[in-house]
Amino acid sequence: MKYICLTEVDAVTKIPCTSEPQRTGPSMPDVKGWIYLWSDNSSWPITTASDGTYLRAPRYYGTCDDDADTTIAGVLQVLTEEEYNAARAAEHEARKPYPSWIGYSDTMTWGAPVPRPANAIMNGGNVRYQWDESTVNWIPAE
C-alpha cells in the first residue's frame, strides 16, 4: 500500500484541473486500488480562472496498491506514512472551528466542550443556538 495525494482530472481527456477546465466533468485519475480517505477541505472553496481552470489543485488523500502507476496525470505526490500522517494532522487542526473545541482525530471532526442544549433545533427542539467562544457555551441565536 502506498499513500498518495491526487487532484481532479477531466473525465475524458484526463488533463489535470489546474491545466485546463474540466469540460466533460471531473474525475479522479485511474490509479490501481485507489481508496479515498480525506481531502483538504479547510482550503475550499478553490478559486477558478475565468475559463474554469482551478488556480490551485484540490487535494485528495488516500492509498493505492503498491504496484499502481503513480506517474500518471493527476497524481500530485506519493507520501511516506510519516508525511501522510503529518498532512492529515495539519488538515485536522486547520478545520478547528474554535480554540476551545475538542478534536477527534479518528474522524477528523471537532466537538464543543459543552453539549448543545436539549431544546436546540438540531436535537429536535425549537430553539436555534450558536457557539459563543467568549463564554465557552451555547447561546440562543438572534
22-59 pLDDT, tens digit per residue, is 999 999 999 999 999 999 999 888 999 999 899 999 99
Q: 60 falls in which pLDDT band (50, 70, 90)? A: very high
27 close to 10: Cβ distance less than 8 angstroms: yes
Residue type, 15: I
- Say what the alpha-carbon torsion angle 69, 67, 39, 21 is, to the nearest 10 degrees: 10
91 close to 58: Cβ distance less than 8 angstroms: no
Using alpha carbons, select from 107, 128, 130 the residue that is nearest to residue 119: 128
**Mean pLDDT on 83-104:** 97
Compute the mean pLDDT over every residue in the chain, rounded to the nearest whole number.
94
Q: Does residue 86 surpass a pLDDT of 90?
A: yes
**Mean pLDDT on 109-125:** 87
